[in-house]
Amino acid sequence: MIDAFTRTGPLMEAGSYPAWAQQLLKDCQASKQNVVQHELYRLMRDNQLDAAVMHPFLVGGWPVVEQFALYMAQNLTKTRFARHPGEDMARRWLMRNIRVELNHADYWVNWASAHGCTLDDLQAQKVPAELHALSHWCWQTCTSDSLIVAMAATNYAIEGVTGEWAAIVCSSDIYASAFPEEGRKRAMKWLRMHAQYDDAHPWEALEIICTLAGNNPHQSLVDELRTAICKSYDYMHLFLERCMQQQLAVAS
């Protein structure tokens, strides 16, 4: 395969990837920043979000967290051993990380509980319809789209931006300090784990994507990747905007 991609530079540097992938990241940057720089995360960091916002945020976010391992399992079924180096990479990576995502669901339950949100609340899903759009999109892409597109939408886009917003919330001790000391570590575990070590996951997903696509993919594939990545960001932005409507209602 003369156009095969093999990374030689550092994992977490854009320059280690093909020119088409570097341009792809640039093309998706505006949609990504709409999420990362959203006011909701700044207010959360400063412990200024009303309970009327935290409750729908935690309940509405639950399906994505609870089902993320299932999204990955759907993508795992698209791989075949030794058919393509990228599929072999994806196969090993997905198998290794599905177990991790199962644990993350437990940590989210603990975070929600610290805000008085029970497992019954999470499962009842009594939130505005807009807060279900992200989980519906994730399920759709992982069941219907190709391995490369679905991983771009979930393991690259959603995991990547989640690591960044979690780091923003954890950049100050104000939010953590609002929890009683005896339950603080348990309440913050989901946030701190994503802020501290998940940073490598989207880059690992990007390496798999580039290995699957090669150095010179058809423009139609690049366009499809860009659309999927930006959809994930845009659905996350819709989620945040709907949550903030509750904050504005409380303020007025």
Confidence of residue 252 (pLDDT cuts 50, 70, 90): low
CA-wise closest residue to 67 among 140, 129, 127, 126: 140
Using 50, 70 and 90 to split pLDDT, how confident is the model at 191? very high
Please check the confidence at residue 25 and state whether its pLDDT lies above 60.
Answer: yes
List, for residues 80-120, the tens digit of each pLDDT value. Answer: 999 999 999 999 999 999 998 889 999 999 999 999 999 99
Cβ atoms of 231 and 237 within 8 Å: the answer is: no
* DSSP SS3 for 104: helix
Q: What is the pLDDT of residue 2?
A: 57
What is the spatial distance between Cα 154 and Cα 64, in angstroms, rounded to a whole number? 10
Cβ-based neighbours of 186, under 8 Å, separated by 6 or more: 110, 114
Position 197 pLDDT exceeds 60:
no
pLDDT for residue 160: 95
- What share of the chain in percent tops pLDDT 70? 97
pLDDT tens readout for residues 152-169: 999 999 999 999 999 999
Closest by CA position to 122, among listed 179, 40, 57, 48: 57
pLDDT for res 249? 73
Per-residue model confidence (pLDDT) at position 222: 98
pLDDT at position 131 over 70: yes
Residue 199 is predicted with a pLDDT of 77
Across the chain, mean pLDDT equals 95
State how far the alpha carbon of 233 is from the alpha carbons of 67, 181, 182, 197, 212, in Å.
18, 34, 35, 21, 22
Check residue 48 and report its DSSP letter: -
Residue 1: is its pLDDT beyond 80? no
Place of tokens 């690259």: 156
Give the Cα separation of 78 and 95 in Å (integer).
13
Res. 196: pLDDT tops 80: no
